[in-house]
Structure 1
Amino acid sequence: MKQTDEVDDLLTRAGARWRADQEAPPEPDLEYMLSGGRKHRRWVPALAAASVAVVAAGVLAVLPNPKTPTAEAPASPVASAPAGSTPNAGTPESFAQGNDNLLVKPGDKVQVNGKIVAVPGKTAVFCPPLAVPAIGYPPGKEPAPSCPDDFAVKLNGLDLDKVPGITTVKGVRVGAAAVTGIWRGGAIDVEEQSAEKPQSYPAQNELQCPVPPGGWTSKPSNISSTAVTKFLAAHAAQIDGPIFRYPNGTSRGAPVVILIGIAHGDATAFREAFEKVYQGNYCVVPVLLSRSDNERISNAIGDLMSKDKTLGIYGAGGSGIYGGGASVSLVAYTPEVKAAFTPLGLDLIRFWPQVRPVR
């Protein structure tokens, strides 16, 4: 072997060892790719998600989910939904009326449905579906079941022996049941109890792009370009999104459609201006809240959650892929909650209480 060959061999082996010692390359920055480097909007943590989505500073990439009900998309030559047909939103007045139907006052007959926790020496409580930290405890080292006082609803007179499938974990009895009784403000005087019942909630349909004649075709998109990013940011008070839609699935070469929600102003004028900076598939649909509306309401809800624990709020978020109002998950929609949220706009928020009135 020539001397130069030996040197080459040494260098090759040294290079191989060096590469083996290096850390793996970082994953692609999906957030930057989708958002064009925009900063995050502030969102209050929500406890539920209805579809697979990648959230990046107001950009939603929504993948097809056959288990999620979707609205039928009307055909349109310009891929623009009819004005005034905001999915899930109805009208602001209908939101306010719907919330009032959930209002509970002391003395009202109410029902809760779900987790029951009974600590020895204390009144059994109903506990909402709170987020649980994903902490891996060694077997036998898990903490005893509990429910934070801010969210616990005392169940006066509950017969624990009649709670189906109740178990004891580290001295604490845990089960699930449907309980009906009289609301006493943070407590229920139990009148009836039975097995847990499936929860029913109003259906929400994801925003959909109307299909143009001939269907969607694959086109390159400059949605992450600086010009488009700045344009959408400048129209934050008018629009929501963009939302990435995949009408034909996510296979290579399948079309990607950018959905823009219009909350305020002239949709036609917006389209004309948008097309001067944007290239690619897109559609415009009506929504209830703009980016600015969502940010204002979500930040205000976050402040309420931090300042007043007695309101019993355990989750909230913006309108997201549904185009309706902001959402708030809480223990009960009471006169105190209504008063606290009135300055935010009750006609722009949908409440999801665990304590429901029995009419």
Structure 2
Amino acid sequence: MGARTRISATALAVATLTSCAAADHRPRAQTTPGDQGSLSMSVALGDLPLLHDGDQAVATGTVHTEPGRPPRFCAPAPVLGTDTNPCRFGVPITGIDPEGLPTPVTLRGTWRGNTLEVSTREPNPPTAPDTDISVPCPTPTAGWKPGNDADTKQLHDYVHSHPEDFRPLRVGWPNGFPTTTTTEAAARVPQVMVVEVAHGDPADVRKALEPLYQGNLCVIPAAADSLSIADQQHVRDVTEKAIEPFMADPTTGIYATTTADKLTVDLVVLTPDLAARFTTLPLALITLHPWLHPA
């Protein structure tokens, strides 16, 4: 892979927030993680998945009914064992008989008056894999070494002692994740540690890592628009504190967050009024992921 020339909006935003180790020669403004500056302005509200009154909308979830109340369409939010409301994160629905609907179900309709007026039931979308197990390296001439029990401690220690140079390690399974029920056979399924190099020469990095790890290695340049472990930490430092008051406010409908190169915020629906409240956030570092979204 040639020299990386593309710079993502996320990388630019992080560059305005942090300064990294001396080995990282990318220009960065001298601001602190708490100085959000005008980051929110770099993401126009029109670029967000807003749901306006009268728009067509679609989502996949479950339908909850209670006697004397309109049925509710529920987002796949975690439910605490002590929560007495099984559909705290959802919206009222009309236009469909809730009896006999499968779980989950995909419904499409018109968003009007904070209610989904259902017009059609659609096939559920395919479930995306939770984990990337691909191996982005060619198979060695002699094939991948069998086995998946090599000690990774030294490899992890090295990578995490150079957080500005690497992305988080991940495990790849070139022949697929072990599915055999025989313990001995499962232990022979090849596993590959995928090492993404954010800064440095992958060939030199591989030479440094080979004495530390006896298993299969795949060492590649990180994608140009991806962030190192250090930069991911900077994203967490800025965004998690900023989102806290919104998560504590039940009117936002936020039910989960995850952080990698950006903070992904899962929420029920993103209306223009709610988006206007979010303009105080560093939106260049955040992905707003509404469950009920424009069709």
Q: In the alignment, residue 169 of structure 2 is paired with which amino acid?
A: P
Check whether the contact 2:105–2:124 (CA below 8 A) recurs between aligned residues: no
Report what 2:56 is aligned to: 109
1:223 counterpart = 2:155: no
1:283 counterpart = 2:218: yes
- Deviation, 1:245, is 2.6
Check whether the contact 1:318–1:327 (CA below 8 A) recurs between aligned residues: yes
- Deviation, 1:270, is 6.3
Task: For residues 124-173 of structure 1, give each alpha carbon's deviation from its aligned partner in whole angstroms, at most 9, with x where no partner exists.
Answer: 322111224579xxxxxxx987411xx23233xx145x335169xxxxxx
- Deviation, 1:331, is 0.9
Q: Distance in 2 between matches of 1:327 and 1:345?
A: 10
Check whether the contact 1:236–1:292 (CA below 8 A) recurs between aligned residues: yes
Check whether the contact 2:194–2:219 (CA below 8 A) recurs between aligned residues: yes
Q: Distance in 2 between matches of 1:175 and 1:198?
A: 8
Report what 1:40 is aligned to: none
1:310 counterpart = 2:251: yes
Report what 1:182 is aligned to: 111
- Deviation, 1:180, is 1.0
Structure number, greater radius of gyration: 1
Q: Distance in 1 between matches of 2:54 and 2:257?
A: 28
Q: In the alignment, residue 294 of structure 2 is paired with which amino acid?
A: P
- Deviation, 1:332, is 1.8
Give TM-score scaled by structure 1 length: 0.52
Report what 2:25 is aligned to: none
- Deviation, 1:210, is 0.7
Q: Distance in 2 between matches of 1:298 and 1:193?
A: 40
Report what 1:259 is aligned to: 194
Three-state SS of the structure 2 residue aligned to 1:247 is coil
- Shift in alpha-carbon separation, 1:278–1:304, aligned structure 2, 3 A: farther
- Shift in alpha-carbon separation, 1:244–1:144, aligned structure 2, 3 A: closer
Report what 2:39 is aligned to: none
Check whether the contact 1:244–1:256 (CA below 8 A) recurs between aligned residues: yes
Check whether the contact 2:256–2:265 (CA below 8 A) recurs between aligned residues: yes
- Deviation, 1:341, is 7.4
Q: How big is the alpha-carbon RMSD for the aligned residues of Structure 1 and Structure 2?
A: 4.5
Name which of 85, 92, 106 aligns with 1:154: 92
Count the aligned residue pairs: 243
Give TM-score scaled by structure 2 length: 0.61
Name which of 200, 211, 219 aligns with 2:138: 211
- Shift in alpha-carbon separation, 1:306–1:111, aligned structure 2, 3 A: closer
Check whether the contact 1:316–1:327 (CA below 8 A) recurs between aligned residues: yes
Check whether the contact 2:173–2:192 (CA below 8 A) recurs between aligned residues: yes
Please, which runs of 5 or more residues in structure 1 have no aligned partner? 1-80, 136-142, 168-173
- Deviation, 1:221, is 4.9
Q: Distance in 2 between matches of 1:164 and 1:196?
A: 16
Check whether the contact 2:56–2:294 (CA below 8 A) recurs between aligned residues: yes
- Shift in alpha-carbon separation, 1:338–1:270, aligned structure 2, 3 A: farther
Q: In the alignment, residue 340 of structure 1 is paired with which amino acid?
A: F
Three-state SS of the structure 1 residue aligned to 2:159 is helix
Check whether the contact 1:326–1:349 (CA below 8 A) recurs between aligned residues: yes
Please, which runs of 5 or more residues in structure 2 have no aligned partner? 11-42, 179-185
Three-state SS of the structure 2 residue aligned to 1:310 is helix
- Shift in alpha-carbon separation, 1:278–1:166, aligned structure 2, 3 A: closer
- Shift in alpha-carbon separation, 1:326–1:188, aligned structure 2, 3 A: same
Report what 2:66 is aligned to: 119
Report what 2:161 is aligned to: 234
Name which of 230, 236, 251 aligns with 1:292: 230
